[in-house]
Amino acid sequence: EVQLLQSGAGLVQPGGSLRLSCAASGFTFSNYAMTWVRQAPGKGLEWVSTISGSGDSTYYTDSVKGRFTISRDNSKNTLYLQMNSLRDEDTAVYYCAKPDCTSTSCYTQDSWGQGTLVTVSS
Amino acid sequence: DIQMTQSPSSLSASVGDRVTITCRASQSISSYLNWYHQKPGKAPKLLIYTASSLQSGVPSRFSGSGSGTDFTLTISSLQPEDFATYYCQQSYSSPPTFGQGTKVEIK
């Protein structure tokens, strides 16, 4: 059974930093690109970032480029999202998600973590 | 970016009703359209992929149709556990984009 267990939620001041983690099990982690999706309070879903299975290729939505870094440790089956220079508008529940195929251009997410709340506020 | 527009934004229905939600893409996405639902405080769950394929374990009362720019999700007989928010998502090109959601409420 695929499991994605997230950690790292927290309250941070504007301009601060936070790192989210997503521990994966039940599938060959290194074979799959992985994605972060966020959801602001009361709002819809927004794709944030994707990393290839090897970690060599990364992709970001424009609003987080230069501030967020996606990474992975395939030896630990863990995905990360390092968030720096956080803004009020980054407040959201962040989900890690696994696609249904192994290509980096697989955008159908068939498994999701439980979500972690990031609150940016002074 | 491809814009996804759902209608309606919300609807009220009774158990046993047939419910239809539509999703329109700002350009052709072939059949690269997924449907998810999300219950309050929970992660989204994949229901339908490539417009009409039922995800494993999803009840057969859910069905999807469409291609190009216009798509439909149908729930043939609404059950109590189906009251949730439904999102469409295009998987045709990066960035993958979602519709704004359709909240299905109890009448």
- Residue A37 with chain B: CB contacts under 8 Å: 44
Which of B27, B97, B20 lies closest to A108, judged by CA? B97
Nearest CA in chain B to A43: B100
How many CB atoms within 10 Å of residue B100?
16
Rounded to an integer, the average pLDDT of B13-26 is: 97
Work out the minimum CA distance from B54 to partner chain A, whole angstroms. 12
Residue type, B80: P
* Predicted confidence (pLDDT) per residue in B32-83, tens digit: 999 999 999 999 999 999 999 999 999 999 999 999 999 999 999 999 999 9
Mean pLDDT within A25-51 = 96
Residue A10 is predicted with a pLDDT of 86
Instruction: Name residue B33's beta-bridge partners.
Output: B90
Q: How far does B95 lie from chain A, in Å, by closest CA?
A: 7
Q: Do A95 and B95 touch (CB under 8 A)?
A: no
Element (H, E) at B88: strand B85-90
Q: Phi and psi (nearest 5°) for A110?
A: -100, -5
Predicted confidence at residue A102, as pLDDT, reads: 82
pLDDT at B1: 95
Contacts of B44 in chain A (CB under 8 A): 37, 45, 95, 109, 112
Name the minimum distance, in Å, from the CA of B20 to any CA of chain A: 19
Judged by a CB distance cut-off of 8 A, whether residue A58 touches chain B is: no
Q: If pLDDT is split at 50, 70 and 90, which confidence band does A9 have? A: confident
Residue with tokens 């239809």: B20
Tokens of B59: 């009840």
Q: Which residues of A touch B102 (CB under 8 A)?
A: none
pLDDT at A84: 98
What integer pLDDT is reported at residue B5 of this predicted model? Answer: 98
Work out the average pLDDT over A49-55.
95
Tens digit of each residue's pLDDT (9 = 90 or more) over A72-121:
999 999 999 999 999 999 999 999 999 988 887 889 999 999 999 999 99
Q: For residues A119 and A13, is the Cβ–Cβ distance under 8 A?
A: no
C-alpha dihedral, B56 to B58 to B59 to B64, nearest 10°: -100
Distance from CA of B43 to the nearest CA of A (A): 6
Kindly give the pairing relationship between strand A34-39 and strand A45-51: antiparallel
Which pLDDT score, from 0 to 100, does residue A104 have?
A: 78
CB contact under 8 A, B101 and A44: yes
> A53-84 burial string, b = 16+ CB within 10 Å, else e?
bebeebbbbeebeeebbbebeeeebbbbbebe
